[in-house]
Structure 1
Amino acid sequence: MRGADLARAALEAARASAKERGARTVRKGVRGTGGRRRRRSWSGPGPDDRDPQPLGRIASRIAGERGWTERLTGGQVFARWAKLVGEDVAEHARPVTLEDGELTVQADSTAWATQLRLLQRELLKRIAAGVGHGVVKRLKVQGPAAPSWRYGPRHVPGRGPRDTYG
Protein backbone atom coordinates (compact mmCIF):
# COMPACT_ATOMS: atom_id res chain seq x y z
CA MET A 1 0.00 0.00 0.00
CA ARG A 2 1.13 3.50 -0.79
CA GLY A 3 -0.09 7.07 -0.51
CA ALA A 4 -3.83 7.51 -0.16
CA ASP A 5 -4.48 3.78 0.41
CA LEU A 6 -2.10 3.81 3.38
CA ALA A 7 -3.82 6.88 4.82
CA ARG A 8 -7.29 5.29 4.45
CA ALA A 9 -6.10 2.12 6.18
CA ALA A 10 -4.65 4.15 9.07
CA LEU A 11 -7.92 6.11 9.40
CA GLU A 12 -10.01 2.93 9.44
CA ALA A 13 -7.70 1.40 12.08
CA ALA A 14 -8.06 4.51 14.24
CA ARG A 15 -11.85 4.45 13.91
CA ALA A 16 -11.98 0.75 14.83
CA SER A 17 -9.78 1.38 17.86
CA ALA A 18 -11.98 4.26 18.98
CA LYS A 19 -15.13 2.16 18.53
CA GLU A 20 -13.63 -0.59 20.76
CA ARG A 21 -12.93 1.95 23.49
CA GLY A 22 -16.50 3.19 23.27
CA ALA A 23 -15.68 6.61 21.90
CA ARG A 24 -18.44 8.66 20.36
CA THR A 25 -18.35 9.01 16.59
CA VAL A 26 -18.12 12.50 15.24
CA ARG A 27 -20.42 13.43 12.44
CA LYS A 28 -19.11 15.36 9.54
CA GLY A 29 -19.90 19.03 9.70
CA VAL A 30 -19.44 21.74 12.25
CA ARG A 31 -19.23 20.69 15.90
CA GLY A 32 -21.92 21.95 18.20
CA THR A 33 -24.55 22.32 15.49
CA GLY A 34 -25.86 18.78 15.66
CA GLY A 35 -24.30 17.74 12.35
CA ARG A 36 -25.88 20.52 10.35
CA ARG A 37 -23.45 22.56 8.33
CA ARG A 38 -23.65 26.20 9.11
CA ARG A 39 -23.45 28.45 6.14
CA ARG A 40 -20.58 30.92 6.25
CA SER A 41 -21.80 34.48 6.56
CA TRP A 42 -20.43 37.91 7.34
CA SER A 43 -18.31 38.25 10.46
CA GLY A 44 -20.86 40.40 12.24
CA PRO A 45 -20.14 42.81 15.05
CA GLY A 46 -17.44 40.67 16.73
CA PRO A 47 -13.74 40.64 15.90
CA ASP A 48 -12.62 38.40 13.07
CA ASP A 49 -9.28 37.30 11.56
CA ARG A 50 -10.22 39.07 8.37
CA ASP A 51 -10.58 42.46 10.08
CA PRO A 52 -7.94 45.08 9.31
CA GLN A 53 -5.10 45.18 11.84
CA PRO A 54 -3.36 48.32 13.10
CA LEU A 55 -0.05 48.97 11.35
CA GLY A 56 1.91 49.15 14.62
CA ARG A 57 0.72 45.70 15.69
CA ILE A 58 1.66 44.19 12.34
CA ALA A 59 5.08 45.88 12.38
CA SER A 60 5.86 44.67 15.91
CA ARG A 61 4.79 41.12 15.00
CA ILE A 62 7.01 41.11 11.91
CA ALA A 63 9.94 42.54 13.90
CA GLY A 64 9.51 39.81 16.51
CA GLU A 65 9.33 37.05 13.93
CA ARG A 66 12.45 38.22 12.12
CA GLY A 67 14.52 38.99 15.24
CA TRP A 68 14.68 42.76 14.74
CA THR A 69 13.48 43.81 18.20
CA GLU A 70 16.98 44.20 19.67
CA ARG A 71 18.17 46.40 16.82
CA LEU A 72 14.98 48.47 16.90
CA THR A 73 15.31 49.16 20.62
CA GLY A 74 18.94 50.12 19.97
CA GLY A 75 17.70 52.51 17.31
CA GLN A 76 15.45 54.11 19.93
CA VAL A 77 18.58 55.24 21.78
CA PHE A 78 19.79 57.12 18.70
CA ALA A 79 16.36 58.51 17.80
CA ARG A 80 15.50 59.75 21.30
CA TRP A 81 19.02 60.71 22.44
CA ALA A 82 18.15 64.31 23.39
CA LYS A 83 15.12 63.24 25.45
CA LEU A 84 16.98 60.40 27.16
CA VAL A 85 20.07 62.26 28.35
CA GLY A 86 18.81 65.85 28.38
CA GLU A 87 19.26 68.76 26.02
CA ASP A 88 22.48 70.07 27.59
CA VAL A 89 24.30 66.73 27.31
CA ALA A 90 22.88 66.03 23.84
CA GLU A 91 24.18 69.39 22.65
CA HIS A 92 27.79 68.37 23.40
CA ALA A 93 27.73 64.59 22.89
CA ARG A 94 26.31 62.23 20.30
CA PRO A 95 25.95 58.44 20.18
CA VAL A 96 28.19 56.73 17.62
CA THR A 97 27.66 52.96 17.86
CA LEU A 98 25.77 50.42 19.94
CA GLU A 99 27.23 46.92 19.87
CA ASP A 100 26.65 44.11 22.39
CA GLY A 101 25.18 46.49 24.96
CA GLU A 102 28.09 48.95 24.78
CA LEU A 103 27.14 52.45 23.65
CA THR A 104 29.99 54.55 22.28
CA VAL A 105 29.47 58.28 22.74
CA GLN A 106 31.65 61.01 21.22
CA ALA A 107 31.97 64.31 23.05
CA ASP A 108 32.71 67.75 21.55
CA SER A 109 35.63 68.44 23.88
CA THR A 110 37.83 66.65 26.38
CA ALA A 111 36.10 68.56 29.19
CA TRP A 112 32.72 67.17 28.11
CA ALA A 113 34.21 63.68 27.74
CA THR A 114 35.39 63.89 31.37
CA GLN A 115 31.98 65.18 32.47
CA LEU A 116 30.23 62.31 30.68
CA ARG A 117 32.51 59.79 32.38
CA LEU A 118 31.51 61.28 35.74
CA LEU A 119 27.80 61.17 34.80
CA GLN A 120 28.04 57.64 33.39
CA ARG A 121 25.87 55.90 36.02
CA GLU A 122 23.14 58.52 35.86
CA LEU A 123 23.11 58.41 32.05
CA LEU A 124 22.80 54.62 32.08
CA LYS A 125 19.84 54.88 34.47
CA ARG A 126 18.11 57.47 32.28
CA ILE A 127 18.63 55.39 29.14
CA ALA A 128 17.34 52.25 30.89
CA ALA A 129 14.25 54.11 32.07
CA GLY A 130 13.60 55.43 28.55
CA VAL A 131 14.18 52.39 26.34
CA GLY A 132 14.33 49.44 28.73
CA HIS A 133 16.80 47.61 30.91
CA GLY A 134 19.57 45.63 29.27
CA VAL A 135 19.64 47.59 26.01
CA VAL A 136 22.66 49.66 27.07
CA LYS A 137 24.87 47.97 29.67
CA ARG A 138 28.11 49.96 29.31
CA LEU A 139 28.98 53.45 28.18
CA LYS A 140 32.24 54.17 26.36
CA VAL A 141 33.05 57.87 26.11
CA GLN A 142 35.41 59.20 23.44
CA GLY A 143 36.90 62.64 23.18
CA PRO A 144 36.88 64.74 20.04
CA ALA A 145 38.55 63.34 16.96
CA ALA A 146 41.92 64.99 16.28
CA PRO A 147 42.82 66.06 12.75
CA SER A 148 44.99 63.71 10.75
CA TRP A 149 48.37 64.96 9.60
CA ARG A 150 49.05 62.00 7.36
CA TYR A 151 48.38 63.58 3.98
CA GLY A 152 49.67 62.14 0.74
CA PRO A 153 51.15 58.77 -0.17
CA ARG A 154 54.51 59.46 1.57
CA HIS A 155 54.97 60.62 5.11
CA VAL A 156 57.72 60.59 7.70
CA PRO A 157 57.01 59.06 11.10
CA GLY A 158 57.30 61.43 14.03
CA ARG A 159 55.60 64.51 15.37
CA GLY A 160 55.34 66.14 11.97
CA PRO A 161 54.32 69.77 11.62
CA ARG A 162 53.16 70.05 15.23
CA ASP A 163 56.71 70.72 16.46
CA THR A 164 56.92 73.95 14.45
CA TYR A 165 53.99 75.61 16.21
CA GLY A 166 54.92 78.55 18.47
Structure 2
Amino acid sequence: MPDRPYRRRRPRRRVDQQWSGPGPDERDPQTLASVLDRLSRQRGWRKQVADHTVFGRWESIVGPDIANHCRPEKLEDGRLTVVAESSAWATQLRLMSRQLYISIVRAVGSKVVRELNIQGPVQHRPNYGPRRVRNR
Protein backbone atom coordinates (compact mmCIF):
# COMPACT_ATOMS: atom_id res chain seq x y z
CA MET A 1 0.00 0.00 0.00
CA PRO A 2 1.23 3.39 -0.89
CA ASP A 3 1.76 5.99 1.77
CA ARG A 4 -0.26 8.58 -0.06
CA PRO A 5 -3.97 8.26 -0.54
CA TYR A 6 -5.10 7.95 -4.10
CA ARG A 7 -6.11 11.25 -5.65
CA ARG A 8 -8.35 11.40 -8.55
CA ARG A 9 -6.83 13.34 -11.41
CA ARG A 10 -8.70 16.45 -12.36
CA PRO A 11 -9.52 16.65 -16.02
CA ARG A 12 -7.50 19.30 -17.78
CA ARG A 13 -9.37 22.36 -18.78
CA ARG A 14 -9.66 22.68 -22.46
CA VAL A 15 -8.06 25.89 -23.60
CA ASP A 16 -9.58 27.36 -26.71
CA GLN A 17 -6.66 27.48 -28.99
CA GLN A 18 -6.75 30.09 -31.65
CA TRP A 19 -4.92 28.92 -34.67
CA SER A 20 -4.20 31.21 -37.51
CA GLY A 21 -5.74 29.86 -40.66
CA PRO A 22 -4.91 30.49 -44.29
CA GLY A 23 -7.25 33.50 -44.49
CA PRO A 24 -6.78 37.00 -43.13
CA ASP A 25 -7.09 37.40 -39.39
CA GLU A 26 -7.34 40.42 -37.10
CA ARG A 27 -4.14 39.26 -35.39
CA ASP A 28 -2.15 39.46 -38.62
CA PRO A 29 0.22 42.39 -39.06
CA GLN A 30 -1.64 45.43 -40.35
CA THR A 31 -0.45 48.17 -42.67
CA LEU A 32 0.03 51.62 -41.21
CA ALA A 33 -2.58 53.05 -43.58
CA SER A 34 -5.28 50.65 -42.36
CA VAL A 35 -4.41 51.30 -38.71
CA LEU A 36 -4.56 55.09 -39.20
CA ASP A 37 -7.80 54.79 -41.16
CA ARG A 38 -9.39 52.77 -38.35
CA LEU A 39 -8.11 55.23 -35.72
CA SER A 40 -9.45 58.26 -37.61
CA ARG A 41 -12.85 56.57 -37.94
CA GLN A 42 -12.99 55.70 -34.24
CA ARG A 43 -11.97 59.20 -33.09
CA GLY A 44 -14.15 61.08 -35.58
CA TRP A 45 -11.24 62.66 -37.45
CA ARG A 46 -12.34 61.63 -40.95
CA LYS A 47 -13.32 65.14 -42.07
CA GLN A 48 -10.17 66.81 -40.73
CA VAL A 49 -7.94 64.19 -42.34
CA ALA A 50 -9.74 64.56 -45.67
CA ASP A 51 -9.50 68.37 -45.48
CA HIS A 52 -5.78 68.32 -44.83
CA THR A 53 -5.18 65.72 -47.51
CA VAL A 54 -5.89 68.41 -50.10
CA PHE A 55 -3.09 70.58 -48.70
CA GLY A 56 -0.64 67.75 -48.09
CA ARG A 57 -1.03 66.09 -51.48
CA TRP A 58 -1.56 69.23 -53.58
CA GLU A 59 1.32 68.52 -55.98
CA SER A 60 0.25 64.93 -56.63
CA ILE A 61 -3.40 65.99 -57.08
CA VAL A 62 -2.95 68.81 -59.59
CA GLY A 63 0.46 67.93 -61.02
CA PRO A 64 3.88 69.52 -60.49
CA ASP A 65 3.53 72.19 -63.20
CA ILE A 66 0.33 73.64 -61.80
CA ALA A 67 1.49 73.22 -58.20
CA ASN A 68 4.57 75.35 -58.94
CA HIS A 69 2.34 78.28 -59.90
CA CYS A 70 -0.48 78.10 -57.35
CA ARG A 71 -1.20 76.93 -53.83
CA PRO A 72 -4.32 76.10 -51.82
CA GLU A 73 -4.96 78.89 -49.32
CA LYS A 74 -7.94 77.77 -47.23
CA LEU A 75 -10.79 75.29 -47.16
CA GLU A 76 -13.99 76.40 -45.44
CA ASP A 77 -17.39 74.74 -45.74
CA GLY A 78 -16.40 72.89 -48.90
CA ARG A 79 -15.04 75.99 -50.63
CA LEU A 80 -11.37 75.70 -51.58
CA THR A 81 -9.53 78.97 -52.20
CA VAL A 82 -6.56 78.65 -54.56
CA VAL A 83 -4.12 81.55 -54.98
CA ALA A 84 -2.17 81.78 -58.24
CA GLU A 85 1.21 83.51 -58.56
CA SER A 86 0.07 85.83 -61.35
CA SER A 87 -3.17 87.04 -62.87
CA ALA A 88 -2.34 85.11 -66.07
CA TRP A 89 -2.10 81.87 -64.09
CA ALA A 90 -5.32 82.72 -62.27
CA THR A 91 -7.09 83.13 -65.61
CA GLN A 92 -5.63 79.84 -66.89
CA LEU A 93 -6.70 78.02 -63.72
CA ARG A 94 -10.22 79.43 -63.98
CA LEU A 95 -10.43 78.06 -67.53
CA MET A 96 -9.36 74.62 -66.38
CA SER A 97 -11.21 74.69 -63.04
CA ARG A 98 -13.44 71.79 -64.11
CA GLN A 99 -10.41 69.51 -64.62
CA LEU A 100 -8.91 70.67 -61.31
CA TYR A 101 -12.17 69.94 -59.51
CA ILE A 102 -12.40 66.45 -61.02
CA SER A 103 -8.83 65.60 -60.00
CA ILE A 104 -9.49 66.85 -56.45
CA VAL A 105 -12.68 64.78 -56.19
CA ARG A 106 -10.83 61.68 -57.42
CA ALA A 107 -8.13 62.18 -54.79
CA VAL A 108 -10.15 63.05 -51.68
CA GLY A 109 -13.81 62.40 -52.45
CA SER A 110 -16.77 64.53 -53.42
CA LYS A 111 -17.77 65.62 -49.91
CA VAL A 112 -14.57 67.51 -49.10
CA VAL A 113 -14.42 70.16 -51.84
CA ARG A 114 -17.66 71.31 -53.42
CA GLU A 115 -16.53 74.61 -54.94
CA LEU A 116 -13.30 76.16 -56.22
CA ASN A 117 -12.45 79.83 -55.76
CA ILE A 118 -9.40 80.82 -57.80
CA GLN A 119 -7.75 84.13 -57.01
CA GLY A 120 -4.84 86.05 -58.42
CA PRO A 121 -2.06 87.46 -56.29
CA VAL A 122 -2.82 90.24 -53.85
CA GLN A 123 -1.10 93.38 -55.06
CA HIS A 124 -0.56 96.27 -52.72
CA ARG A 125 -0.74 99.74 -54.16
CA PRO A 126 2.19 101.92 -53.27
CA ASN A 127 1.13 104.71 -50.97
CA TYR A 128 4.23 106.83 -51.34
CA GLY A 129 5.95 109.14 -53.83
CA PRO A 130 5.54 112.72 -54.95
CA ARG A 131 2.88 112.00 -57.58
CA ARG A 132 0.45 109.92 -55.55
CA VAL A 133 -3.23 110.77 -55.50
CA ARG A 134 -4.54 111.30 -52.00
CA ASN A 135 -7.93 109.98 -50.87
CA ARG A 136 -8.39 107.77 -53.88
Higher relative contact order (CA 8 A, sep 6+): 2
Q: Would the alpha carbon gap of residues 94 and 163 (structure 1) be closer, same or farther in structure 2, given more than 3 Å must change?
A: farther
CA–CA distance in structure 1, aligned partners of residues 13 and 75 of structure 2 = 56
Runs (5+) with no aligned partner, structure 2: 1-10
Residues 111-152 of structure 1: CA distance to partner in whole angstroms, max 9, x if unpaired? 111111111111101111222222211011121122476xxx
Q: Would the alpha carbon gap of residues 71 and 38 (structure 1) be closer, same or farther in structure 2, given more than 3 Å must change?
A: same
Aligned to 1:114: 91
Q: Calculate the TM-score normalised by the size of structure 1.
A: 0.60
Which structure carries more helix by proportion? 1
Aligned to 2:77: 100
Q: Would the alpha carbon gap of residues 58 and 142 (structure 1) be closer, same or farther in structure 2, given more than 3 Å must change?
A: same
| Percentage of pairs with the same residue | 42
1:161 to 115, 128, 133: 128
| Structure-to-structure mapping, 1:1-150, within 5 angstroms | 39-46=14-21, 51=27, 53-54=29-30, 55-147=32-124
Q: Would the alpha carbon gap of residues 97 and 43 (structure 1) be closer, same or farther in structure 2, given more than 3 Å must change?
A: same
Q: CA RMSD in A?
A: 2.7
CA–CA distance in structure 2, aligned partners of residues 74 and 90 of structure 1 = 17
CA–CA distance in structure 1, aligned partners of residues 128 and 35 of structure 2 = 59
Q: Would the alpha carbon gap of residues 82 and 56 (structure 1) be closer, same or farther in structure 2, given more than 3 Å must change?
A: closer
Q: Supply the AA of the counterpart residue of 1:45.
A: S
Runs (5+) with no aligned partner, structure 1: 1-35, 150-159
Q: Supply the AA of the counterpart residue of 2:67.
A: A
Runs of 4+ in 1 over 4 A off after TM superposition: none
The alpha carbon displacement at 1:57 in A equals 2.5
The alpha carbon displacement at 1:87 in A equals 1.9
